Amino acid sequence: MKILEKDELCWCGSGKKYEDCHMNFDLKINKQAKKLKALSPSRKMIKSPKDIEGIKAAAVVNNGLLDMVEGRIKAGISTDDINTWCEEFLKEHDAHSADLGYMGYPKSICTAVNDVICHGIPSDKVILKEGDIINVDVTTEYKGYYADASRMFMIGEVSENAKRLVEVTKECLEIGMAQIKPFYSQVRDIGIAIERYAKSKGYSVVMEYCGHGVGYKMHEDPYVLHYASYEPSVLLVPGMVITIEPMINEGSRYIRFKAGDDWTSYTKDGKLSAQWEHTIVITEDGYEVVSK
């Protein structure tokens, strides 16, 4: 983190002198990054209080959308039905899907049923049935800010194997969040803890996808791995907003695609996969989950 002259205006846009605003904050970042052999976050990764309020407003809509889905999802409906509900909800709340049109993505949400890992395209041909597990992943843009979350839903009575996978995947997310210790931990600590826990329960972690910064856009730096990497990574500090979204497989971690669909990723061995995702604001004394 570059240290400015004391009398310069602070980089955060507060209008205050640097000495009276973020100078001590930046000095602490540099000190702790050096101590932990971590990377200093860029200033773009650190949101202002105004920005965080905007992200929280987007999160309110995102949470409401997932609550709506939770109240209506059941056997017999299609994943395209869910997409239609979400489009109607977003329109009613003057919000927009960040997924729709992103790199050509054709729908407003992603739906991952059973052996689908992520980025499943809603379809009127995919009908939910008793015993299915499904992840619904939504990113809402509201008044220029973004919030991102996904939930697992179990349709009727599911197998014990499916239920256990869904529960352990949520525990992986919670264990990842528990590693957030502002100024005293770095991004890699999240993935190290998640992979260790998943493997202890007999599961594997998908490595092709990761969490990320969010707020001004759907995907921002830093990228948040869900597996163990011991390379230096970004120091976690107050004002950062990230997602943690582990994808945990019942069998092998490896993925596959089907001809003609470059979006939907499946488990290579056809076994189940699950995912939970939260948007998290890092605070002075820990973190706040704002979208879940």
pLDDT digits (tens, 9 = 90+) for 154-212: 999 999 999 999 999 999 999 999 999 999 999 999 999 999 999 999 999 999 999 99
Nearest to residue 51, comparing CAs of 233, 290, 292?
290
d(CA 154, CA 89) in angstroms, rounded, equals: 22
d(CA 69, CA 151) in angstroms, rounded, equals: 10
- In tens digits, the chain (292 residues) has pLDDT values of 899 999 999 999 999 999 999 999 999 999 999 999 999 999 999 999 999 999 999 999 999 999 999 999 999 999 999 999 999 999 999 999 999 999 999 999 999 999 999 999 999 999 999 999 999 999 999 999 999 999 999 999 999 999 999 999 999 999 999 999 999 999 999 999 999 999 999 999 999 999 999 999 999 999 999 999 999 999 999 999 999 999 999 999 999 999 999 999 999 999 999 999 999 999 999 999 999 9
Q: Are 192 and 203 in contact (CB under 8 A)?
A: no
Q: What pTM was computed for the model?
A: 0.97
Cβ neighbour number for residue 145 with a 10 Å cutoff = 22
d(CA 78, CA 64) in angstroms, rounded, equals: 20
Nearest to residue 252, comparing CAs of 230, 272, 277?
272
Cβ burial, residue 254 (10 Å; 0-12/13-18/19+): middle
Beta-bridge partner residues of 136:
111, 151
State residue 135's pLDDT score: 98
State residue 11's pLDDT score: 94
- For residue 97, what are the contacts with CB-CB under 8 A and spacing of at least 6? 86, 87, 90, 108, 109, 138, 139, 140, 141
Provide the token pair at 110.
Answer: 């992603």
Domain 39-291 has what CATH class? alpha beta
d(CA 149, CA 138) in angstroms, rounded, equals: 6
State residue 109's pLDDT score: 98
State residue 20's pLDDT score: 96
Sign of the Cα torsion 79, 85, 87, 89 reads negative
d(CA 189, CA 136) in angstroms, rounded, equals: 27
CB half-sphere exposure, 130, CA atoms < 13 A: 2
State residue 1's pLDDT score: 86
- Provide the 3-class DSSP secondary structure of residue 218: coil
The alpha carbon of 10 is separated from its chain's Cα centroid by a whole number of angstroms, namely 30
- Residue ranges of the domains in the chain? 39-291
Q: Are 227 and 207 in contact (CB under 8 A)?
A: yes
Find the angle CA(280)-CA(112)-CA(249) to the nearest 5 degrees.
Answer: 80
Q: Are 219 and 212 in contact (CB under 8 A)?
A: yes
State residue 244's pLDDT score: 98
The amino acid present at 216, given as its one-letter code, is: Y
